[in-house]
Chains A and B, each alone.
Chain A
Amino acid sequence: MRSRVPWLLVVPAVLGMAFLVLPLAGLLVRAPWSTLPQRLSEPQVLEALRLSLVTASVATAVCLVLGVPLAWLLARTDFPGRRLLRALVTVPLVLPPVVGGVALLLVLGRRGLVGQWLESVSGFSLPFTTAGVVVAEAFVAMPFLVIAVEGALRAADVRYEEAAATLGASRFTVFRRVTLPLVAPGVLAGAVLCWARALGEFGATITFAGNFPGRTQTMPLAVYLALETEPEAAIVLSLVLLAVSVFILVALRDRWVGAAA
């Protein structure tokens, strides 16, 4: 028989659980359930929701196009400075998003290193545009994808890639026809994490793209703003984000995390 679980571990564990669960419960308790449908159909809410979904999806697409090859480079090739590059790639993971936003402004802003040049060439400037929201979200979310895909690549059996090479496949063909299908679950999980992170992005977005309804005001920004003027609306918006998070968590667990374990 197993001996009793020590109280010294059980008490903090229960407190910790309460700490994580209670706020969410509070959200559910205080939700204005009777006016919920009406609240959800308000144009501002719908507008913020639409903008959030669109920008998070586009940002995820950008991350996939740039991040998967980057992960491959980190996992499958060896070049001087690879470890340093890997460390740099993960910096946005730990960087306060606001700092990320400031950094983006300095580089891509109207007077930024690249932004200045971009504006003089194309007359286009990123800050305070929907495209700027996508950039801010991608900046913050891409490390999640890169880390997930790199992990999947490292865990994948490289002998399949060798087998493909002996069958005459070039390195790109190996990547496309063998590596990518083998790590598809990892890529998918990374993309979902990336999307969730982009959806919740606040600091970098408000710093770099501002808070313009319909153009750069995503759900988290709308929540923050509504909290000061209309707390009930903030709760409704938060509920929507919570629902999305829970949905992602459940989907991830059952489909991909579960299958991989």
Chain B
Amino acid sequence: MTLRARIVVRRPAFRLDLDLTVGRGEVVTLLGPNGAGKTTALRALAGLIPLTEGSIELDGVRIEREPAERRPVGVVFQDYLLFPHLSALDNVAFGPRCQGRSKAEARSLARELLDRMGLAEFSSVRPRRLSGGQAQRVALARALAVEPRLLLLDEPLAALDAHTRLEIRSELRRRLTGFDGATVLVTHDPLDAMVLADRLVVVENGAVVQEGTPAEIARRPRTDYVARLVGLNLFRGEGDGDRVRVGDLVFAAEERVSGPAFVAFAPGAVALYRTRPDGSPRNLWEGRIDGIERHGDHIRVHVDGPVPVAADVTPAAVAELDLTPGRRIWVSVKATETHAYPA
């Protein structure tokens, strides 16, 4: 393990307490809503705020008592924070200069890094003349120039517009793969998290609520927040063989599970009916339409009832079923697309 940390930061009315281990070359993403404590964790790792408790061990060395300037850590800040009075080259050369290299040496190192980022022709340009994507690459080069063992990125894509974001995201993924230290990235955007992370750590209210590969998290969310992020309906119930009881409802699921369990299914697995359909009473209930919105090329219908669900239907179905807010409607979920797993 390259990074092994227990981060506890206590503030009035807030407590952050999380364990974090990141391997060599691994990219771990802290994903969570605003105010969950992700950035606080990152600042604690960088040494910009002190730990209330805990420890940070990097390559076997405890660094939690070292000030920020002595930690082998590189940070890419939100908004990048490139020094506005220095050229791109001198921004990148800043770290090596502080580490005691000569001006010429620091600059040649910086030139090499900018070259590798495809920014050779921008080296004399001031940050305010760089595009968002270019600024991000300069910020990454600046952070890597100090040869960190731990790379921290705070919302590295948040400052970009949607159009450039797609391209920059995959490019960043490629560059992070090339870094052999530990990487911790913070984001509140699930797509960024899925694409950039080897492993996701979901943080809510200052604590880890779920951890795993992006695929695991997407398939088996464990909190409402995660379920919403990955676009699944999620309920907690009691498993009994191939059935899961959620309140008064009984769900038939693909997997067998007993004891406390989650039931998850995609909005696309939900069907809506004007009248009670024939057949099994499982995965079936009556509710009231709460809201209707466009969602890509289909319509998302929110139905309130014993449990609140989101259903995706075609625009044709909306017209055919005369779906309007307030109307009572029957909801059914395909058992083959309903997944159950232990809570």
Contacts and interface: CB of A to CB of B under 8 A. Distances in A.
Contacts, number: 61
Given A162-B68, A163-B77, A177-B94, A168 B99 contact: yes
Given A159-B77, A173-B98, A166 B84 contact: no
Give the interface centre of A157, A159, A166, A173 by most chain B CB atoms within 10 Å.
A166
A181 B85 contact: yes
B81 interface: yes
B94 A169 contact: yes
B146 interface: yes
Given A163-B75, A165-B69, A170-B69, A178 B83 contact: yes
A98 interface: no
Contacts of A170: 69, 98
Contacts of A166: 46-48, 68-69, 71, 73-75, 143
Nearest to A169: B98
Contacts of B143: 166-167
B38 interface: no
Given A182-B84, A182-B85, A165 B95 contact: no
Interface string A147-178: 00000000001011011111111100100011
Range class of the A interface residue count: 10 to 19
Which label, helix, strand, loop or mixed, suits the secondary structure of the A interface?
helix
A167 B82 CA distance: 12
Nearest to A164: B94
B241 interface: no
Given A165-B47, A167-B69, 18 more contacts: A157-B81, A160-B83, A162-B48, A162-B77, A163-B81, A166-B46, A166-B48, A166-B69, A167-B94, A167-B95, A167-B143, A167-B145, A168-B98, A168-B146, A177-B94, A182-B84, A182-B85, A184-B85
Interface of B: 46-48, 67-71, 73-75, 77, 79, 81, 83-85, 94-95, 98-99, 142-143, 145-146
Interface of A: 157, 159-160, 162-170, 173, 177-178, 181-182, 184
